[in-house]
Structure 1
Amino acid sequence: MYFIRSLARMSPALVACCLAGCIGLIPSPFRPSPGPQKAPQPYDIAQAFDIVCRNYRLGPGDQVGILFLAEWSIPYGTFKLDTLDELEIKFILDPQLNEKVIVRPDGMITLQGVGEIQAAGLTPNELAKRIEDKYIEAEIFSRDETRAALKNYKLVTVHVVQFYQKVKKLLDAVTSLASGGRSAITVNPDGTIDLPLISERVLAAGHTIAEVENTINRLYRSGPIKHMSASLALGSAQSRKFYVMGEGVGGAFDIKQPITILHALAMAGNAYTKTADLTSVILISRDIHGKPIGRRIDVKRMLDVGDLGSNILVKPYDVIFVPRTYIDDLNTFVEHYLGVVARFKAFADVLK
């Protein structure tokens, strides 16, 4: 009881001074430990620009433009027939057997006298040799005929009249008057994209445009369409954001172009208040291995003397923390403990 009454008699100002004298010994809950100051190196700036611009990694909500193109130039002897290709088959021994055929969806063609022959996946010369062997086996051509006067000639020739028909039909399906041959694809919430004629979803989140492009071309060439290439371009970036929190600011903001720490704080709005400590703005980034890196940046020095050496680029998913000043921490501390003293005084008055 005596202690409470004595505490109530103490001057609130004296208590505030005593408590304020100890504030240097108490870690502030509003201000993180700044840690060692590190000036950004040219490598850091180049790496940040590389991540923001050239090696941007896709995320959910990003739009990717995909352009399908036929491979009009391939090495000699590597062209292989595909389904829907139109062929003209000519026989030097009997022109009456000449005919035009279309490779069926199952890869087969049907010729008079010998029936079905596998065509898809063969070169024109391989198919011609297979047809010749079929006609000799069926004794439509005799071996004596083929070994005598015509031994230096090809008995069967295959002319490709219409090729890449499957590729053309795909291009027709994805072509519109508005976009031409380019289609806009949005990265799904699970980080994948859906493509025509590919049953499995392609993982895009966390990968660059070049990496996704290589994956798509590999899947098409190993699957339904051989002679086609896909070209990708970033349409709009909806997933790359940076985050600002702390004194007077807070929120997520889009990165639509390379921005620096000053640009980021300007976008955040109320960072330049009297209670914000711009000498110790904390930037939390991740390196190429995903390890978080904290860095203290003296924004006030940039503004006061024009020292832009620390005005580094902000990368996607970076977090910027604006702490409160020591003076504002002191005010909060004093207001809190003055309230405690006032409550003690009121309690002591009740006990009188």
Structure 2
Amino acid sequence: MSVLRSLQGFVSGWPVAPLVVVACLGLTVGCSARSKYAAYDPGTAADDVAEDTQAFNQKLALAAAQDEGDGQYRVGPEDLLEITLFDIESREGIPQVIATRVSSAGFVTLPHVGKVQADGLTPIEFEHRLKDVYRRFIHDPQITIFIREYHSYQVAVVGYVVKPDVLQLRGRQTMLEALAMAGGLNEDAGRTVRLLRETDDQIVTEIIDLEALTRLGNLGLNPTLLPNDVINVPRAGVFYVEGAVLKPGAFPLLQPTTVSQAIATAGGSDSDMANERGMTVYRKLADGQREPMRIDVAGIRKGEVEDMRIEEDDVIVIPISGPKWMLDRVLTAVRVGINYRP
């Protein structure tokens, strides 16, 4: 059954005579009676989305500023380190200075001890690790670390951001910082991010909920970036609400949303007109057809039924009650007649 045919069924099954009466009353009232179901203004909707996007980008920027981490640079692959070994392999009291580049696997190779993991450590942490390793050869080793050359690396920010680009980064940078460099989300963006990362010759995708990050302050959802990471911001989906609601139309699916939340987004149902028992969600199937799913509104309100999450391209229909609509038209006509002065 098509959605259009379902919508036509809003007023199906009413007695013919009352419909004729209502039609006549409608002619009597004339065009001065404005419908309470005027279409949702696309311009207003666009303005609302723009304001919401701007406010959300400000939340992301604030979260990025709050995520200070430990405030220290962490050694990474291809960094050039200058390691000074005091009293180790020194001649005539002259410390030995070793310049070594961190391998792509994150190791440096040093005299006597061989490979030592450096990747992910701050210079101080790496000093402590080297001291622990060299204690096998000297009681109290003195070692200093200096980063002579920071290796730059690339990450890509693609999708629905203001300025998609390949970014050249140095040092510790996070996903939120990269999004800020790309100008933030644009007005068509969803509120999830897909972080694609190559691990062990495989591409691993991590889905990050930006709403949870900003709402809950969960900065654990703000990963530190690695070379060749790809940050993909998908487009927000769209859902539709039609029938006896105050603002029928299409709305962006910016975050996980239930049927009740979707109805609230459309201004809520009109208690004077809505036939909530007939509320239906029409969901598109793989073959393009739509499957009708009746919603138990009373059960949801009582907490007896789960408030179903909607999906992209869902159409939510709240039928207009025939008797309520008729009564409303009659009362409108009566009010207009009373106020009419020839």
Place the TM-score, normalised by the shorter chain, in its bin: 0.3 to 0.5
Q: What is the TM-score when the length of structure 1 is the normalising length?
A: 0.38
